């Protein structure tokens, strides 16, 4: 259903937390809607997760709450897991640039993504709104407004009042670690993928990688080049699974780990036993908002952030508090752009939200559906198969066109290739017709001036 619209527009003073891909999209859309925006970014530059650093945290599992946090989880060899045509923002496509320093591949390296985000920030003059090296340490209500306490790099705290806060702090920095029975007496090393950068430390080792989704699959293949053996343990494999994976001669896939023993062995549910040196946990991340004080209204339980209407607005605090970028298994940048348009338009009063009760009913229905499908809470923000419906719903709210057919097909085909040919999906594909359709679409909309081979 299309939302109620109004001709009345408010211009608000809005704080955006984070200048990654989500914060940049939010900033652009908020300014387009005539809001005044201050972006708080604790790093020295835009790009968030895509700002690669060889630095890792001193605690390799990142369990110490008082550790010095390193934001990025990007490893040196990382290439995108989506084709670039569908990955970019809709009206600023992620196309190869004619510049020797750039990576023209369809699945480019992380450096190319950072360069793209910098281009985006430059094109829309976003940096002028960013306060770099300024960390938000507390966000709390002040009447109908919000008070933000920030700390700049010189240690000075500052309190400011904003009409609204848009949270874009990312959710790939706080590791989730798998529980392995017997791990406390196991003598080997453990590291989370958040602190993985290069394979060298694993030279000649026997390594067990837990998790076989994007990072697990990449990192295990990265390590096979130097390690003696790499064994992937995956929850999604049946308990008898045991097979050598194509593309290397020292990589095996197993079911999950049954236990770890103090003699250094790891026992898998398939009965296989390996004497391992290191476990790499590629087991995902937790949503984490250490600065946010809503007096207990918003909670994070088993990685479900709630209550949130359509993953964006907490009903009782809407629209003055919102979150961009929580859903996963979706076209991230594209979703950030649509969610941001929605938030900006709701704040200006051009688009209205349902009543608080109606929004809560929607949240309750989402939870009921999740529970009926026997999905754990941590899958609440997973979109996957329903992503196009979700994106189209938001597009309708803001009067944007629905997801293009080529984009939807590219992303579905991309996921399938990732799952079925994880060693080759970035360099071999059979959907060139979709690439052509994408570029023709960009050309038609005058987002590019020539097709790539012209």
Kindly list the residues in this chain that would bind ligand FAD in the complex (CB under 6 A): 17-23, 40-43, 48-50, 71, 73-74, 78, 80-82, 87, 135-136, 168-170, 172, 215, 291, 325, 332-333
Q: Least distance in Å: CB of 89 to ligand FAD? A: 11
Q: Which is nearer to ligand FAD, 27 or 269 (CB)?
A: 27
Helix (H) or strand (E) holding 186: none
Q: Least distance in Å: CB of 193 to ligand FAD? A: 7
Q: Least distance in Å: CB of 328 to ligand FAD? A: 8
Q: Which is nearer to ligand FAD, 232 or 260 (CB)?
A: 232
Backbone angles phi, psi at 24, to 5 degrees: -65, -40
Q: Which is nearer to ligand FAD, 276 or 312 (CB)?
A: 312
Q: Which residues of 61-72 are buried (b: 16+ CB within 10 A; e: fewer)?
A: bbeeeeeeebbb
Backbone angles phi, psi at 351, to 5 degrees: -125, 140
Q: Least distance in Å: CB of 228 to ligand FAD? A: 25
Q: Which is nearer to ligand FAD, 121 or 398 (CB)?
A: 121
Q: Under the phi-then-psi rule, with left for phi > 0, alpha for psi from -120 to 50, and beta for the rest, what region is 300?
A: beta
Q: Least distance in Å: CB of 57 to ligand FAD? A: 14
Q: Least distance in Å: CB of 131 to ligand FAD? A: 9
Give the Cα separation of 182 and 453 in Å (integer): 57
Q: Least distance in Å: CB of 161 to ligand FAD? A: 17
Q: Which is nearer to ligand FAD, 20 or 188 (CB)?
A: 20
SS (H, E, C) 338-362: HHHHHHHHHHHCCECCCCHHHHHHH
Q: Which is nearer to ligand FAD, 19 or 279 (CB)?
A: 19
**How many alpha carbons fall within 13 Å on the CB side of residue 290?**
11
* Strand positions, DSSP E, 180-276: 189-192, 206-210, 229-233, 242-244, 251-254, 257-260, 265-268, 273-275
Q: Which is nearer to ligand FAD, 87 or 359 (CB)?
A: 87
Q: Which is nearer to ligand FAD, 161 or 451 (CB)?
A: 161
| Strand 157-162, strand 145-152: pairing | antiparallel
Give the Cα separation of 116 and 132 in Å (integer): 19
Cα dist. 453→106, 131, 410, 439 in Å?
14, 40, 20, 11
Tokens of 454: 């012209």
Q: Least distance in Å: CB of 8 to ligand FAD? A: 30
Question: Are 151 and 131 a contacting pair, CB within 8 Å?
Answer: no
């Amino acid at each position: 259903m299309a939302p109620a619209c109004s001709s009345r527009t408010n211009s608000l003073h809005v704080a955006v937390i984070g200048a990654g891909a989500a914060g940049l999209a939010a900033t652009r859309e908020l300014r387009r809607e005539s809001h005044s925006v201050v972006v708080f970014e604790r790093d020295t530059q835009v790009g968030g997760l895509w700002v690669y650093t060889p630095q890792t945290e001193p605690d390799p599992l990142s369990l110490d709450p008082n550790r010095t946090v390193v934001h990025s989880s990007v490893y040196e060899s990382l290439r995108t897991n989506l084709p670039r045509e569908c990955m970019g923002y809709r009206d600023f496509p992620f196309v190869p640039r004619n510049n020797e320093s750039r990576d023209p591949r369809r699945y480019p390296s992380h450096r190319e993504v950072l360069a793209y985000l910098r281009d985006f920030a430059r094109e829309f003059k976003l940096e002028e709104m960013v306060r770099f090296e300024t960390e938000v340490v507390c966000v709390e209500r002040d009447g109908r407004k919000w008070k933000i306490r920030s700390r700049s790099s010189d240690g000075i705290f500052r309190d400011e009042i904003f009409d609204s806060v848009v949270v874009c702090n990312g959710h790939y920095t706080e590791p989730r670690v798998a529980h392995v029975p017997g791990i406390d007496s196991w003598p080997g090393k453990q590291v989370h993928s958040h602190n993985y950068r290069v394979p060298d430390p694993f030279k000649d080792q026997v390594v067990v990688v837990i998790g076989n989704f994007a990072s697990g699959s990449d990192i295990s293949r990265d390590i096979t080049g130097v390690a003696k053996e790499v064994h992937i343990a995956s929850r999604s494999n049946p308990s008898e699974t045991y097979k050598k994976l194509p593309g290397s001669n020292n990589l095996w896939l197993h079911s999950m780990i049954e236990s770890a023993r103090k003699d250094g062995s790891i026992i898998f549910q398939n009965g296989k036993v390996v004497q391992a040196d290191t476990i790499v946990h590629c087991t995902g991340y937790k949503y984490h908002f250490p600065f946010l004080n809503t007096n207990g209204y918003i909670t994070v339980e088993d990685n479900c952030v709630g209550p949130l209407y359509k993953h964006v607005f907490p009903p009782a605090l809407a629209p003055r508090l919102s979150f961009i970028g929580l859903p996963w298994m979706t076209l991230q940048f594209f979703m950030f752009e649509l969610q941001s348009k929605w938030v900006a338009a709701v704040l200006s009063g051009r688009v209205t939200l349902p009543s608080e009760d109606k929004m809560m009913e929607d949240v309750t229905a989402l939870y009921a559906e999740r529970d009926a499908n026997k999905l754990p809470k941590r899958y609440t923000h997973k979109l996957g198969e329903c992503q196009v419906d979700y994106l189209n719903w938001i597009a309708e709210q803001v009067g944007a066109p629905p997801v293009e057919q080529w984009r939807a097909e590219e992303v579905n085909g991309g996921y399938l290739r990732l799952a079925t040919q994880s060693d080759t999906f970035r360099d071999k594909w059979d959907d060139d017709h979709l690439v052509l359709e994408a570029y023709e679409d960009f050309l038609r909309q005058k987002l590019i001036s020539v097709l790539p081979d012209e």
